[in-house]
Structure 1
């Protein structure tokens, strides 16, 4: 059995612990800062075995050095990005997989936010760790990649099973919903999700992870292929990537 724990870090980041009860192994996905992660490990009596990095941005890697020094955890990251990641013990290539405590971890290519961005899909946990690619109600800004790359990345992630937990890197859900309502104000699933998110945040609860099925029903960045979304943007004859590009541009200015 795999246990999944969401850890708030910095002002709006999330890190995740994945723990295998049988072997006692624990993986950390992204390391924004060490202290909240060390506190969670101590509280649960877990020992950190591995650190998996989705991309090179400082708010996903700054805790690595301290955590490696205190735990000896091995660090995994993209081969293509190893020149700008902390020192890696295992370099990963998209399209391959590796073993964690007897469970398969698939390495997915999800460029767009950055060129070397990867995601981790763990079927046994029904979880995908997507960093700043697919996010709750959104997707990451295109700091390095092209819109077409991000659209392809999101399509790759959208083909995972609908009950997959999308473990993304930030608490941006409320603002993302406000934007989504400018695209699909009559989407009942979206309005229901807004109410659930507002209630969760009022209670101080994270809105991450989210179900892929919820993202498919409400996240405008996954819905650029729909005729209703194209009509709302007066882009009925545009191809899907063009519609995604327009949605991303509107969000950048929102």
Structure 2
């Protein structure tokens, strides 16, 4: 299995997975990077879409114009116009010799889905739900929905490689360190991410085990995270979803 991201726009990634003689694209927000890769021999067979935002789906019409038989798999959302197959919770998508399980993970958008497979040592295409050291903004869902979605992803094997939609790791690290300044795993991940970006390398995929040790949005039940949220809000959080709500509002206005 070969897995790598194609940079798009300012900070998006289009994920490319090649295995079993097939090539899979995830969230092609623009077609240009795919066409550039095609000039080097890439030929896509299918596309997975996690949610309807234009920077994740905008390249699909041009891709279909060039490759009319391309399979486009998306959530059941009419805002995604070019899907050839709609999928929902519990369905399995067989591509590249792999079985990708569909997980409904609302919060960033109401119809957001993620794809995970295979079960052990696999990959998670998390879109804008789970980022390395962060999570997506709550555009259409509640903090309770996002917390539930993140906990579902947190329960996957720690060896899972998290392939999210944006290169946000350094900005997220700055916020995470404001929440947990004494977290040694976070300090190591931040140093590693700086080295990767200085070498013009992506910080992704990230290991889920590292995210569990470092990402404050996956750690809303930890005393240090709860205490930081309480200090910022001036009150004790009611529960873990409330802690996430405080963290997300704090992050929305955070400047390093």
Question: TM-score scaled by structure 2?
Answer: 0.93
Task: Structure 2: give runs of 5+ residues left out of the alignment.
Answer: none
**Residue number in structure 1 paired with 2:81:** 86
The corresponding residue for 1:10 is: 9
Q: Tell which deviates more after alignment, 137-146 or 64-73.
A: 64-73
CA distance in 2 between counterparts of 1:59 and 1:46 reads 21
| Residue in structure 1 matched with residue 136 of structure 2 by the alignment | 140
TM-score (normalizing by structure 1): 0.93
- 8 A contact 1:227–1:236 mirrored in 2: no
The residue number in structure 1 matching 2:176 is: 180
Equivalences, count: 248
> In the TM superposition, what is the alpha-carbon distance from 1:101 to its structure 2 partner?
3.6
Q: Tell me, yes or no, if the aligned pair for 1:64 and 1:86 is still in contact at 8 Å.
A: no
- Cα-to-partner distance string for 1:144-163 (whole Å, 9 max, x where unaligned): 00010000000000001001
The answer to whether the aligner puts 1:121 opposite 2:120 as a matched pair is no
- Write out aligned runs for 1:186-205 (5 A): 186-205=182-201
Q: CA RMSD in A?
A: 1.4
**Corresponding residue for residue 249 of structure 1:** 249
Q: Give the equivalent residue in structure 2 for 1:100.
A: 95
| Structure 1 spans left out of the alignment, 5+ residues | none
What SS does the aligned partner of 2:18 have?
strand
Q: Distance in 2 between matches of 1:93 and 1:162?
A: 24
Q: Say whether the 8 Å CA contact 2:24–2:96 is kept in structure 1.
A: no
Q: What secondary structure is seen at the aligned counterpart in 2 of 1:233?
A: helix
Secondary structure of the corresponding residue to residue 84 of structure 1: coil
